[in-house]
Amino acid sequence: MFVEMNPSIKIDRAAWLQGPSAECSVAPRDRKNPWRLVLLGAPGVGKGTQAELLTGRLQACHLSTGDVFRAASQRRDCDQSPAMKAALEYMRRGELVPDSTVWDMVRERSQCILQCDGFILDGFPRTLTQAELLKELMEKEQLSLSAVVNYELPVAEIVQRLSGRRTCEKCKSVFHVTERPSSGGGICDRCGGRLFQREDDRPEAIAVRLDAYERSTAPLIQFYKSLGLLLPVVAKGSPDEILARTMERLAQVDKLTKAL
């Protein structure tokens, strides 16, 4: 089941990033048991990196709500759906996007969840309400999640990771003062732009983000645990080490599924 993706296949996620008016370049392959995963984990644990690595290993689409918001913010207003316009307006005001608006945005792209040949959801669901809505949608189509991977890391290490991040003001490349420093100090190795620390990567802002995550996600973790879907994975070490740990846990799920 764990087959490397054919490098000639490009998953452009057009329908996910742009909405229902766009079509992805890859047609469903109609595999017998495609992987349908949700990734959980506090800011800084490396969910995005793991999602990209898992995409190649599991031949699944990386469906990130963060990518949707970033793509939409660069499009003209006339190309944005009402749900997306509403979501971006909340974000511009620095407010949390309500569950109803997030769900409207995801529902516009439900074909990516219901019809694609496997997916890795990153950034959704984030609340118990969103998880219940996703469950109802999939049950209606007689589909189910394979697993929910919860990446765990002590708070002190999360703060160290995030507070050490530096972002290029031009190309947005990300470095770390100790783990991945730029060779030019405060200068980007890729484009020569100035590196800076984002406001939400400052220790005081990180504490607020982690508190908000804990309050919204604790019930979500219990929800998936009660359904027998939760797979805790320690997020220490290099991305490859964390990937190996994740694949080991998924292999256990695979064996159990085949035995049923």
| Catalytic machinery residues | 47, 126, 165, 198, 209
Rounded distance, CA 73 to CA 78, Å?
A: 12
Q: Longest Cα pair distance anywhere in the chain, in angstroms?
A: 56
Rounded distance, CA 155 to CA 235, Å?
A: 12
Beta carbons within 10 angstroms of residue 136's beta carbon: 9
Which of 150, 118, 161 minimizes the C-alpha distance to 47?
150
Burial of 248 (0-12, 13-18, 19+ CB in 10 A): exposed
Strands 195-196 vs 165-168: parallel, antiparallel or unpaired:
antiparallel
Side-chain half-sphere exposure of 68, counting CA atoms within 13 A? 30
Which of 50, 61, 227 minimizes the C-alpha distance to 153?
50
For residue 36, what are the β-bridge partners? 119
